[in-house]
Amino acid sequence: MKIRGVILIISIIMGLFIGYSSHHWIHQYRYQDESVTLLPEHPFYLLEDVNEEVLYNTLKHYNFPNPAIITAQAIIESGNFKSRLCIENYNLFGLYNSNKMEYFKFDSWISCVFAYKRYILNKYEEGEDYYGFLQRINYAEDPEYISKVKTLENKILKKYETKEKSHPLSGGD
């Protein structure tokens, strides 16, 4: 009887130890990709306050599809980066958490950019017309939204394509 009791206690202790260790081993990397860590290889402009040029360059650097369109969206949604939601919560895109019935709050503007990737771009199918995509997911309620974004996109492309072509390191003539 004593031996069974000792074996039972040892089994319980080992079970707790193995279960605890397994749980932590399984979950240690669970949320790793949700945080954004600025490492030395990240461009220096990520340390700046956000503006049109910084956002556009960031989106290009991280290979977001249609960076001019996404930049135009941020300009519209944030009132040219001056809205209270943008300034206080770093929410550039007016991203809304429908589970909590409130706007997302971010610790930095780059966190918002990656939240856009996670919550919006995860629905985008590569090669899909981006304006068709925005309509498909009902991104905005304003019936003129697409028209406004297109107008801004054209201005952004003119401004930054010209800079890239005239910049000696860009490979343009």
Tens digits of residue pLDDT in 73-113: 999 999 999 999 999 999 999 999 999 999 999 999 999 99
Give the residue, 21 or 171, on which the prediction is more confident. 21
Dump pLDDT digits (tens) for 133-159: 999 999 999 999 999 999 999 999 999
CATH of 43-167, one of 1.10.530.10, 3.20.20.70, 1.20.120.430, 3.90.226.10: 1.10.530.10
What is the pLDDT confidence band of residue 172, given thresholds at 50, 70 and 90? very low
Average pLDDT, the chain: 82
Q: Which residue has the tokens 């990240």?
A: 42
Does the pTM of the predicted model rise above 0.85? no
Give the residue, 169 or 160, on which the prediction is more confident. 160
pLDDT of residue 6: 73
Whether the per-residue pLDDT at 116 is higher than 90: the answer is yes
Q: Is residue 14 exposed (0-12), middle (13-18) or buried (19+ Cβ within 10 Å)?
A: exposed
Mean pLDDT for 105-134 is 94
The percentage of residues in the chain with a pLDDT greater than 90, rounded to a whole number, is 62
Where along the chain do its domains lie? Answer: 43-167
pLDDT of residue 11: 73
Whether the per-residue pLDDT at 56 is higher than 80: the answer is yes
